[in-house]
Amino acid sequence: MRRVSRFMPTALAAVLLGGCATYHAAPLPTQPDLAAAPTNAGAPVKTLSLAQAARRAVADDPTLRAARLKIGIATASLYEAGLIPDPSLGYNFDRVTSSGPGLVNAYSAGLSADLHWLFTRGDRIDAARAARLQQVLDVAWQSWQTSERAQQLYVQLWSLQQEATLLERDIVLYRTRQKRVEHALQRGDVTLNTAAADLVTLTSTEARLAQVRESIIDARSQLNGLLGLQADAHWVLQSPPPVTLLNSQALTAALQALPRRRPDLLALRAGYRSADARYRAAILGQFPTLNVGLTQASDTSGIKTEGIGITLSLPFFNGNRGQIAITRATRRELRAEYQARLDTAANQALALAARLHTIDATRRTLETRLPELRRLAKNADRAFAAGDLGGASYVDIQSSLIERELEAIRLNQQHLDGAIALDTLLGHVPTGVPAKASGV
């Protein structure tokens, strides 16, 4: 028995030290981690489709990659919630300082544990598990929003490039007309006011093209940022695929399924379950806490004793009432937040769907008229070449066509942007997000 007692401190120290964590330094990065160009299996990629850009944004967006690491924090919190509290070990030693027959040094040792955690462990684990699910769903929703943003930037960049092409064509026409006007002004065939008006029109169009080019740079840098690329990384876009709008029946069905499909709504539901579990744990926490301990002691006369101690808290003043009130109010607030989010989501989807149908009708009407405008522009080309049409009339006809084509580009962009946003609002898994990682 003495031999066993002799090795007990060593064994206890080995157990305690064996479970200790060790520190490892993790220095912060000293330079950006951005690629100069998109790659595939290490080889540079020159062209990206809309779907490819969305997939790369979900995979490589630096902000989204950092957000995914928060799931590890929630997982660690769940692990912590399931851990058993450490017991407490106490030891007292009293050395005899006076002389007397039969006096020996006294000591007392005790081992105690708080057993109150047994009553709340299940609810605390439920709360942590629901909180982890909420974090997973929050990241899934952020992935959806990243995909949506990448697709909209892609469509915007594509549309701006088409606008720039048309404006460049318009400027060529205006410059041609301006040269003719200058010669006519020298001959005295036109007034100075006419020449000045044409120059103002040319200058205005050039300024408009400069603004579009600035917008192209801004849109490309934002999209490259989502793709984990340097702002000036260049790659070629492909024409975005057409989209089909939902009919009223499909829209109604999607709205009914909204609470089961949208990750942000599912995350709020998980957060509500977590708050509900914390509320239950707080209610259980109002009861007396139980602490049980075993003691062994020896007094100065050498008499040894062993005993058991039980400690109960008396919930007269606190009784965990504060935590109960906090968790109850939190649950109430989360319930209201969920209802508000659900209402907002439904209204946003309905409003956007109605707006998209209006845009689509306008776009289709314009598309039916563009062929006739193009035919008139070709006739104007032939008449101008034959000398049967004046320069001013020719440029006006061509500029009118370009303005309508610019309007068609903008309407098409609004149509695509709205369709992409509506898919996200209705809980449809967006392009680039794997279904198994979508959270639904």
DSSP state string for 407-432: HHHHHHHHHHHHHHHHHHHTTPPPTT
- Higher pLDDT among residues 19 and 146, named by residue: 146
Looking at the predicted structure, is the pLDDT value of residue 7 above 60?
no
Looking at the predicted structure, is the pLDDT value of residue 277 above 90?
yes
Q: What percent of the chain has pLDDT over 90?
A: 58
Domains of the chain are 46-83+120-155+214-285+321-437 (1.20.1600.10), 85-115+288-319 (2.20.200)
Looking at the predicted structure, is the pLDDT value of residue 17 above 80?
no
Position 362 scores a pLDDT of 95
The backbone torsions φ and ψ at residue 287, rounded to the nearest 5 degrees and listed phi first, read: -80, 160
Give the whole-angstrom CA distance, residue 268 versus residue 133: 10
E-only strand ranges, 5-71: 39-40, 43-44, 47-48
Q: 152 in helix, strand or coil?
A: helix
User: Cα 305 to the chain's mean position, in Å?
Assistant: 63
Residue 107: exposure state from Cβ atoms within 10 A (0-12, 13-18, ≥19): middle
Query: Average pLDDT for residues 172-177, to the nearest whole number?
Result: 81
Largest CA distance in the chain: 138
Q: 275 in helix, strand or coil?
A: helix
Residue 152 contacts residue 424 (beta carbons within 8 Å):
no
Query: Average pLDDT for residues 274-288, to the nearest whole number?
Result: 92
Under the banding of pLDDT at 50, 70 and 90, the label for residue 197 is: low
pLDDT in tens, 210-219: 999 999 999 9
pLDDT in tens, 80-139: 999 998 899 999 998 888 877 878 899 999 999 988 888 889 999 999 999 999 999 999
Count of CB atoms within 10 A of residue 388's CB? Answer: 9
Residue 221 contacts residue 160 (beta carbons within 8 Å):
no
Looking at the predicted structure, is the pLDDT value of residue 70 above 80?
yes
Give the whole-angstrom CA distance, residue 286 versus residue 127: 18
Which of 128, 127, 135 shows the shortest CA–CA distance to 70? Answer: 135
Looking at the predicted structure, is the pLDDT value of residue 79 above 80?
yes
Position 318 scores a pLDDT of 86
Most confident by average pLDDT, 15-29, 185-199, 305-319, 423-437: 305-319
Looking at the predicted structure, is the pLDDT value of residue 253 above 50?
yes
Looking at the predicted structure, is the pLDDT value of residue 310 above 80?
yes
Count of CB atoms within 10 A of residue 381's CB? Answer: 14
Residue 332 contacts residue 134 (beta carbons within 8 Å):
no
Four-point Cα dihedral 61, 67, 68, 71, nearest 10: 180
How do strand 236-237 and strand 47-48 relate by DSSP bridges?
parallel
Position 270 scores a pLDDT of 96
Under the banding of pLDDT at 50, 70 and 90, the label for residue 363 is: very high
Position 204 scores a pLDDT of 84
Q: 242 in helix, strand or coil?
A: coil
Least confident of 35-44, 144-153, 289-298, 403-412: 35-44
Residues paired with residue 308 on neighbouring β-strands, in sequence order: 294
pLDDT in tens, 138-174: 999 999 999 999 999 999 999 999 999 999 988 888 7
pLDDT in tens, 391-421: 678 778 888 888 899 999 999 999 999 999 9
End-to-end CA distance of the chain: 61
Residue 125 contacts residue 81 (beta carbons within 8 Å):
yes
